[in-house]
Chain A
């Protein structure tokens, strides 16, 4: 069979929909019910919104949890009777119990990393931007895309239900190291809570796989005419690498979880050996290795931080270039460094395990590989800065968040060089220094990327504008708050203050940080409050925001702005536009911007 037949778009389309009439796609206004439009939607734009809003729900829950445990850390001696109204027996007498504290930090970590910054970030923007920016009607398989969201939704329900059971949610840390996670007798949270945690995470892996395969296939196969790989906006490159990372790293976590499920329920000893439980006695399990789990976990766990960060990098690149009215500096270097990051992501996992008894020689190799990541990261940072350099900068809220992202990535990235050294890590591991590092570089930076994306593409999502004033308040309070919260933690960590402790006031060495802990906790409350302001802005503007009047409000080059203000299912009412140039012709030949759909003129200076 000729390749032309294989690649014939019609046959592909009907493959995807199993017998749907091809003509059906040409009219994109078949009657839609509420269920098919808003619930079991197969429109990538609606699925993106579903991911975003589910992620927001989780962000509020996860954020609220951090407020609760920061209250404990800042005010270990005070009681808050209203906490008992909310948490019941977990905050008896208005004081969070140790079990509840650990459950809160564990759930905070799990939902923020996976449900908010993986599903909420790449789920939202991969779905929203890939078809729009490459010029496709929808994802390669809209049905799988729908399944991807609904697996995430079920995972969310299971995780949420674990908060309400008798023994509470899992409380052994988001990394779920055995033996704590493998033995129900180890702690209340390791009982049913851990089972639900594992089920939720397994469902999440399925969701991530379904989504990732779709993103990859769509980027590779569904690009419009003229959209060669090297003309793709950097957002798409970033989301593509993100999907590849997810498809290759989540299965390893999945294997690790399967072994953990067997250890928990079927009497195996994959991770267990020589264990004595207080009140139970010696366990019969022999021959397993708890370190094995850590290898399997971090083989996902490290790529996971790039799964979180890469979409933010891609969106920041796009937004910085658009709003500097300058081409992105070093497009191919940006792609190359993202590729380097994607490769190195798989080769550094053991730097999370320097103090597990890892062979120091092996450790030194992981130090080398870890520090190598500084090279592509620095390339990206300098390219962002040189994109801004002498730009005609428009400080839209999206632009502010994109610049904030660069700032946070630099601050948080530099401490990564410290932590990547196995010798320094002996002192710094499991201290607040680590908390400060990864919250800034991965947590807050990626949140900033997400906010930048929401502010930038909101007009495309809802056909209305967000309120800018609220946006600026949101930006400044969040940026200042992020630094005020996490900067002091570097000092605490250098002084040896360990993470995951319930109460520092009883430690002579850490009493001195009582005031600082209070300060951090107060800032947390302010930052949390301003996120609620953002949510108000978001939901209010869906219905009441100023209507978008121009199809291309930011004067941007990419394809999504060639669609109608409120694109229907299928994105373009007529034929999909053809692409003639890369996405970054800003300020070229005296023109402010030249969209990708404009043919290259005869007298135009050539670069791409």
Chain B
């Protein structure tokens, strides 16, 4: 036992120091993101394995060429818009975290709302794209698109597309929900009372991760 007199109002944790010099919630978030990166990594590597063992694969420029209101013949235009929206939402998240560092409640609120709106917009775009593809006859187990060389394609093109973009979309949805919770907590002055906006930072880590994953998903399904 320590020989020093026990302070009456001692601290909850006696000491200790994180090797990374960050508080425990952030450690958890980083490790969770690593874990989640392995989930997505496994999905994308599976996708690559199957794609490169297949005889052919549809050309994304042919498949993703529609834009709501403008008709078809616009390869990758819509997905570029989606990607742009998501990247902008990352910027507003950075601004929210920055405002949190400065204890600027109004800045946090404003930028969180923008992030939520952009996140919801991305989800809306994805819903439109899924619906559109579904109307064209694409779904899990159904692939109306031909390979780039005109031969019949396996259903794994759509199987992977819907599974992985769906899994990513689910992450975006979770992120939007988390951001809404953060917004409510900010509005009710929870962080002001706590004296810091660390939770915003952790939500931001998650949000940036989801955006980063999209870059890979986008590359694998739309560009390659």
Interface residues of A (CB under 8 A from B): 1, 3, 5-7, 9-16, 19, 22-23, 25-26, 134-137, 140-141, 209, 212-214, 216-218, 220-227, 229, 244, 247-252, 254-256, 258-259, 262, 266-270, 285-289, 292, 295-296, 299, 562, 574-578, 597
Name the segment of B25-33, B63-71, B76-84, B110-118 touching the other chain.
Answer: B25-33
| 4 A-B pairs closest in CB distance | A267-B141, A287-B154, A225-B15, A576-B14
B20-39 interface with A by 8 A CB criterion: 20-25, 27-28, 31-32, 34-36, 38-39
Query: Complex Cα distance A285/B154, Å?
Result: 9
CB of B4, distance to nearest CB on chain A (Å): 8
Is A268 a contact partner of B38 (Cβ separation < 8 A)?
no
CA distance A226 to B16 in the complex (A): 7
Chain A residues lying within 8 Å of B22, measured Cβ to Cβ, are: 6
Contact B167 A248 (CB under 8 A): no
Extra A-B contacts (13), CB below 8 Å, given A224-B15, A247-B34: A3-B21, A135-B14, A213-B32, A220-B19, A225-B15, A247-B32, A251-B35, A255-B43, A256-B42, A267-B155, A270-B46, A295-B49, A577-B14
Q: Once the chains bind, are B15 and A12 in contact (CB under 8 Å)?
A: no
Chain B 100-131 residues near chain A, CB threshold 8 A: 101
Instruction: Contact check, B15 vs A226: say whether CB atoms are below 8 A apart.
Output: yes
Task: Check B195–A268 contact: CB distance below 8 A.
Answer: no
Tell me whether B219 is interfacial, beta carbon within 8 Å.
no
Contact of B13 among A9, A213, A574, A597 (CB under 8 A): A9
The size class of the interface chain B forms with chain A is 35 or more
Known: A229-B19, A254-B39, A289-B50. A26 touches B155 (CB 8 A): no
Contact B27 A217 (CB under 8 A): yes
Asked whether B224 is an interface residue with its Cβ less than 8 Å from the other chain, the reply is: no
Bound-state Cα–Cα, A286 to B4, Å: 72
* A235 CB, min distance to chain B CBs, angstroms: 17
How far, in Å, is B185 (CB) from chain A's closest CB? 10
Question: Are A217's CB and B31's CB within 8 A?
Answer: yes
Q: Is the CB of A222 within 8 A of B155?
A: no
A11 and B195: CB pair below 8 A?
yes
For the complex formed, measure the closest distance between the CB of B214 and the CB atoms of chain A, giving whole angstroms.
17
* Chain B interface (Cβ < 8 Å from any Cβ of A): 1-2, 4, 6-7, 9-25, 27-28, 31-32, 34-36, 38-43, 46, 49-50, 53-54, 101, 140-142, 154-156, 159-160, 163, 167, 190, 194-196, 198-199
Question: Please, how many angstroms separate the alpha-carbon atoms of A399 and B220 in the complex?
Answer: 54
Which B residue sits closest to A5, measured CB to CB?
B196
- A residues within 8 A CB of B163? 258-259, 262, 268
Contacts A216-B31, A248-B38; is A286 near B16 (CB within 8 Å)? no
Q: Is the interface of A mostly helix, strand, loop or mixed?
A: helix
- B36 to chain A minimum Cβ distance, whole angstroms, is 7
Given A3-B21, A286-B154, A14-B194 contact (CB < 8 Å)? yes
Closest to A254 in B: B39
Contact B17–A292 (Cβ < 8 Å): no
Q: Are B31 and A213 in contact, CB atoms less than 8 angstroms apart?
A: yes
Residue of A23, A216, A225, A256 touching B16 (CB-CB under 8 A): A225
Decide if A292 touches B46 in the complex (CB within 8 Å). Answer: yes
Tell me which of A212, A220, A225, A285 has the highest count of chain B C-beta atoms within 10 A of its own C-beta: A220
